[in-house]
Chains A and B, each alone.
Chain A
Amino acid sequence: MFLTPSMLGFAVFYMIPFVMGISQSLTNRTLGGRFTGLSNYSELLASGSFRKAAANTLLFTGVSVPLLLALSLSLALLINKGPFFRQGLQTALILPLVVPVASVVLVWQIFFDWNGTLNAWLYHGGHSRVDWLQSNGSMGVLVVLYLWKNLGYNLILFLAGLRQIPRDYYETARIEGAGRWHQFSRITLVYLTPTLFFVVLISIINSFKVFRETYLLAGDYPYDRIYMLQHYMNNMFAALEIQKLTAAATLMVLCISVLVMALLSVERRFRDVLD
């Protein structure tokens, strides 16, 4: 009953458009289109650029999410340890969350451009220049950007998770002679797992959102290493190829929901074990 307003909002703004999108992806044109079955999907899978975009997106998620997790967890542990780090680091890491992306991207652009700051340093240091955004290193630039942007958020989540672990557990463990590694792997990691699942989920979803930064940095036809799924969709939208666009979106949603469901089922199983 009390869910009705939010359900209504969800339906109007997400569910109905999405279902309409799926039905679009099965026709041949927007106005007065005919049902063509899965032909848009087969065309989509035949497109080399779509496959490249999917592979790039997967690669990016596969590399950046574990890196982000490792980095934010170790920082959280460090901060959790003493007040010394807490003040300065926390603010510095959370700042990227509130700074508008567009202004930051401008700075990054100046930094990584062919005639930018980084190359000027390299040149003065006697090295040859690298066109960062137009080479296979461009993915690295994106990973750094993604880490910088999302570190703070994950950090907050991890810190909250860490504080919920009762101190007594550690004390008991210490009395019983458990080493640091043992404490970390048997107490911290185990009791942090519910938080971990959530952080992984958010990180994956955020990794799909790196398109915004990429687009602002490198435009609609970037170097093919950083050509993401959303580049493909964006270009299809500009070309009014709504059918291909909706087909690509449907496939992407399918992949994400499979991933999320797998994660959630693992979490459920884990919780059962814990109880």
Chain B
Amino acid sequence: MKTTNRKRARATAATGIFLLFALAACSGGGGESPQIHTGKSGDKGSEQPVEAPANAGKTTLTFSTFFPDPHLQELVTQYEALHPEVDIQLQSVQTDDAHLEAEMEKFMTQTNTAMLAGKGPDLLVLDDLPAASYVKNGLLVNFDELIAQDSAFKREDYFTNILDHAKIGGGLYAMPISFFLHGLAGDEEALAQAGVEINDDSWSWNDFAVLSQKLVNKTYPHVIHTEPEYMLNWMVSDNLSLFVDESKGTAKFNTATFTGLMKQVQKMSEDGVIGAEGIPYFFPVQINSPGDYFESLNSFLSSNMKLYVKPHAQDVGAGGYFQPYRSIGLNQSSKAKEQAWDFVKFMISDQVPVDPNHAGFPLNKRLYAQEVEQLKKDGSVPTAKEGPLKGVPIQVNPDELDALENELTGATHLVSKFQPDQLADIIVEQSQAFFSGQKSTEDVAGLIQNKVTTYLNE
């Protein structure tokens, strides 16, 4: 039993890593949008848009992304075919794993500098950039204003919950072409057997900690697949106001409350609530596409997996968590804002269909509906040969698709804040020494207090 468990764990880890690579390469798992309208592009199909010289009378848009992205390239090609008077230059950085970090940093510094100097590309993918700082410096156009002025834009065509909640600094400055869903995959039947009822509309990490006491060592040995330092970070975010007062610049990590929290998490770890080995009740998951919804939930090799909303921080309110993917920003100093906005609308339109396994749920509802139709028509989802399901296709259950749609329309919490999360970094990094038994609670709490205070007072 133990060896199979370990094998499963390894297999899940393998899928995780595989997913990560798929994401890093910015190309969805599965095929690259096979049903492109080739009819429309006609004789223009063979043209290389990137190398096309900017002729007189042509509008040129520069569009910058860090990772080369075939999907964006496809959107550019299609748009240029429809609008021969527009030339879009898609710029990306070619790199390999060994140089990724260095190239990423270089790209960031260069883009930051160009943006601050009022140069910069007309459009840019903001996923890997400090967009919150751009907004603070007034470098991006607020799409909310463009939408309000554009009578042709129909909000109801899109996931309005995403449009409403993907805001940074009070406005929609980063238009997500698509998004991922974050949640917990949990074994519904095992939870019911343990007599635990979950109200995932409103549960908090504190609630999670309480009910996990009832679950541990029953059907499964562990309750959640994670590391204690991440749990500590979640619990802190749950009670953030207890520890951090951002306006006053004070932190209260050297308190009995925080050391108590650390000990509580350590006890959860010792009791087996938290475990990275073996099968738990819950796995934190990121769902990337309608197809991935089925593959991810079934990859845990339990037939009763259901997607639950991640527990909330107390003062946040109900709703699920989403992470924008391919967020587009429009440069405030762009000389061709109207054309750029038109292209952004094209990118979030349903004119270029995508495969149900293409990474990211589309912002456009009709595009999503097409994907769902495709799934229903196919009746099954292919799986990765290297994954735990070993390439065996999964049946598509229409009821589960309805449940997914509920999750999608109910997602109201932005995961990425478009800036580095220093607080989480400090807590996770410093608390490792405590959970591995190398430092005392007081030492670690003192260090966290020390660093967070510096950060808050900058």
A residues adjacent to B (C-beta < 8 A):
29-32, 47-50, 52, 114-115, 131, 134, 221, 223-224, 227, 232, 235-236, 238-242
Considering the complex, give the chain B residue whose CB is closest to the CB of A223.
B450
Chain B residues whose C-beta falls within 8 Å of the C-beta of A47 in the assembled complex = 457-458
Listed A/B pairs (28) with beta-carbon separation below 8 Å? A30-B116, A31-B118, A31-B137, A31-B138, A47-B457, A47-B458, A49-B454, A50-B458, A52-B454, A52-B457, A114-B438, A131-B439, A131-B443, A221-B451, A221-B454, A223-B450, A223-B451, A224-B450, A224-B451, A224-B454, A235-B458, A236-B458, A239-B419, A240-B116, A240-B134, A241-B133, A242-B116, A242-B137
A59 to chain B, nearest CB (A): 16
B130 at the interface (CB under 8 A from A): yes
Q: How far is the CA of A47 from the CA of B136 in the complex (A)?
A: 19
CB neighbours (8 Å) of B138 from chain A are 29, 31-32
- Are A224 and B137 in contact, CB atoms less than 8 angstroms apart? no
A240 and B137 form a contact (CB under 8 A):
yes
> Which residues from chain A contact B75 at a C-beta distance below 8 Å?
none
Q: Cβ of B458 and Cβ of A240 under 8 Å apart? A: no
Closest 4 CB pairs of A and B: A48-B457, A240-B133, A49-B457, A49-B458
Q: Which residue of A lies closest to B452 (CB)?
A: A221
Q: Within residues 410 to 458 of chain B, which ones have a CB less than 8 A from any CB in chain A?
A: 419-420, 422, 426, 433, 438-439, 443, 447, 450-451, 453-458
- For the complex, give the distance between the alpha carbons of A223 and B138 in Å: 33
Q: How far is the CA of A240 from the CA of B117 in the complex (A)?
A: 12
CB-based contact A134/B458 at 8 Å: no
A29→B438 contact, CB < 8 A: no
Q: Distance in Å from the Cβ of B427 to the closest Cβ of chain A? A: 12
- B92-117 Cβ-contact flags toward A at 8 Å (1 or 0): 00000000000000000000100011
C-alpha gap A239/B422 in the complex (Å) = 11
Given A115-B438, A242-B137, 14 more pairs with CB closer than 8 A: A30-B137, A31-B116, A31-B138, A31-B139, A48-B249, A49-B453, A52-B454, A224-B450, A224-B454, A239-B133, A240-B134, A240-B136, A240-B137, A242-B116
Interface presence of B314 (CB below 8 A): no
Q: Which residues of the other chain, B, contact A49 by a CB distance below 8 angstroms?
A: 453-458
In the complex, A235→B422 CA distance in Å? 11
Residues from chain A with Cβ under 8 Å of B433 in the complex: 114
Cβ 8 A contact of B447, one of A223, A235, A241: A223
**Residues on the A chain within 8 Å of B451, using CB:** 221, 223-224
Closest to B458 in A: A49
Decide: A240 and B130 in contact? CB cutoff 8 A: yes
Q: What residues on A are CB-neighbors of B269 within 8 Å?
A: none
Interface contact B133-A227, CB-CB below 8 Å = no
CB of A164, distance to nearest CB on chain B (Å): 46
Please tell me if B332 contacts chain A, counting CB pairs below 8 Å: yes
Residues of A with C-beta under 8 A to B139: 31
Q: How many residues of B are in contact with the other chain, CB < 8 A? A: 31
Assuming the contacts A223-B447, A240-B116, A240-B137, asked whether A31 and B333 have C-beta atoms less than 8 A apart, the reply is yes
The smallest C-beta distance from B135 to any residue of chain A, in angstroms, reads 10
Residues on A with beta carbons closer than 8 Å to the beta carbon of B447: 134, 223
Closest Cβ–Cβ distance, residue A160 to chain B (whole Å): 40
Shortest distance in angstroms between A252's beta carbon and chain B's nearest beta carbon? 16
- A41 CA / B112 CA spacing, docked (Å): 23
| Closest-CB distance, A255 to chain B (whole angstroms) | 19
- Nearest CB in chain B: distance from A67 CB, A: 26
Query: Given A29-B138, A240-B112, are A232 and B458 neighbors across the interface (CB < 8 Å)?
Result: yes
Q: A240 to chain B: which residues have CB within 8 Å?
A: 112, 116, 130, 133-134, 136-137
> B118 — which chain A residues lie within 8 A by C-beta?
30-31
**Which residues on the B side are within 8 Å of A238 (C-beta)?**
130, 420
Whole-angstrom CA separation of A134 from B446 in the bound complex: 10
Chain A positions within 8 Å of B455 at CB level: 49, 221
- B window 112-169: CB within 8 A of A: 112, 116-118, 130, 133-134, 136-139
**How far is A223 from B452 in the complex, measured between Cα atoms in Å?**
10
In whole Å, how far is A40's beta carbon from the nearest beta carbon of chain B? 14
Contacts of B112 in A (CB 8 A): 240
Give the distance in Å from the alpha carbon of A240 to the alpha carbon of B118 in the complex: 14
How many Å from the CB of B438 to the closest CB on chain A? Answer: 7
- The one of B419, B426, B438, B453 in contact with A224, judged by C-beta atoms closer than 8 angstroms, is B453
Complex CA–CA separation, A73 to B349 (angstroms): 74
Q: How far is the CB of B109 from chain A (nearest CB, A)?
A: 9
Give complex CA distance A48, B438 in Å: 31
User: How far, in Å, is A75 (CB) from chain B's closest CB?
Assistant: 36
**A242–B117 CA distance with the chains assembled, in angstroms:** 11
Are the CB atoms of A31 and B332 closer together than 8 Å?
yes
Q: How far is the CA of A242 from the CA of B457 in the complex (A)?
A: 17
Give Cα distance in the complex from A25 to B73, angstroms: 41
Closest Cβ of chain B to A141, distance in Å, is: 16
- CA separation between A223 and B453, bound complex, in Å? 10
Contact with A along B325-339 (1 / 0, CB 8 A): 000000011000000
* Chain A residues, CB < 8 A from B422: 221
A221, closest chain B residue (CB): B451
A87, B112: Cα distance in complex, Å: 51
Once bound together, how far apart are the Cα atoms of A50 and B249, in whole Å? Answer: 13
Residue on A with the closest CB to B133?
A240
By a CB distance below 8 angstroms, the chain A residues around B332 are 31
Choose among B118, B332, B419, B451 the residue with the greatest number of A CB atoms under 10 Å from its CB.
Answer: B451
**Residues of the A chain whose Cβ atoms lie less than 8 Å from the Cβ of B420:** 238
In the bound assembly, the distance between CA atoms of A232 and B458 in angstroms comes to 7
Give the distance to chain A from B29, nearest Cβ to Cβ, in Å. Answer: 33
Instruction: Tell me the minimal C-beta distance from A87 to chain B in angstroms.
Output: 41
Q: In the complex, what residue of chain A is closest to B447 when comparing beta carbons?
A: A134
- Contact residues, B375-431 vs A (CB, 8 A): 419-420, 422, 426
- Which residues from A are CB-within-8-Å of B439? 114, 131
The complex places the Cα of A31 from the Cα of B457 at a distance, in Å, of 25
> Across the two chains, which residue of chain A brings its CB closest to B420?
A238
Given A31-B138, A31-B139, A221-B426: A227 in contact with B454 (beta carbons within 8 A): yes
How many angstroms from the CA of A171 to the CA of B79 in the assembled complex?
90
Cα distance A227–B450 when bound, in Å?
11
Query: How far apart are the CA atoms of A238 and B111 in the complex, in Å?
Result: 12
B141 to chain A, nearest CB (A): 13
> Measured between alpha carbons, how far is A240 from B332 in the docked complex, in Å?
16
With the chains together, A242 CA to B134 CA distance in Å?
Answer: 12
Q: How many angstroms between the C-alpha atoms of A131 and B333 in the bound complex? A: 48
- B117 contact set on A, CB distance < 8 A: 30
